[in-house]
Amino acid sequence: MKTFLITVLAVSSVAFGQAKKGILQPQMTVAKDAGTYEAPMGKMGEKGDVWTATSTAAGVDGKPLPGKLDTVTGEIVDMSCYLQLGKHGEKHVACGKKCLTAGEPIGLVAKNGDVYMLMAEEHDPRRDGQTAGFRKAAADHLGHIMEVTGTLSAFGGYKAIYVQGYVAK
């Protein structure tokens, strides 16, 4: 009975993608001029404090969740199509840009298949619509391999990079 339960759990985790690693639909590649993991097309984000003053002030009791400054290289994707359909790369750029422009979540897929949600870091400007430049930059680089710098935060299996430097002046 114990072996049966372990087998059922293992099959269930594979069925729901929990045991899989790597990039979904690896045949969907970026364009030849869209950068590589070794030589990214460009950079997004600025190094600063782990959390800006507005994010710290917005935290419960003035304490945001733990985070650390990090730089991750990966392909900019729209999370909705990537996690639902595995779509990314050059052939998905037109659709993905429409999704990001419509407000779908922005993601980054690292070479090892780790997926990060990307968001503007500055809490109040983000809440108040003053970081639209971040969404535009992500849409402009959808399907490109980029070096992204920001605050890495993780909880419950979710990973996010909060990117600084896109508050409208």
Q: Which residues share a beta bridge with 121? A: none
Taking only the tens place, the pLDDT of each residue in 102-129 is 999 999 999 999 999 999 999 999 999 9
- Cα dist from 143 to 50, 58, 77, 108, whole Å: 27, 33, 6, 10
Provide the Cα torsion 163, 22, 82, 13; round to 10°: -110
pTM to 2 decimals? 0.87
Q: What is the mean pLDDT of residues 118-143?
A: 96
Residue 142 has pLDDT above 90, yes or no: yes
In a 10 Å sphere around its CB, with 0-12 CB exposed, 13-18 middle and 19+ buried, how is residue 69 labelled?
Answer: middle
| Highest mean pLDDT of the ranges 2-11, 15-24, 31-40 | 31-40
pLDDT attached to residue 116: 98
pLDDT score, position 7 = 36
Helix (H) or strand (E) holding 80: helix 79-85
Answer yes or no: is pLDDT of 64 > 60.
yes
pLDDT (average), residues 133-147 = 97
Query: Can you tell me the mean pLDDT for 72-89?
Result: 98
Q: Calculate the average pLDDT of the chain.
A: 90
- 2/96: higher pLDDT: 96
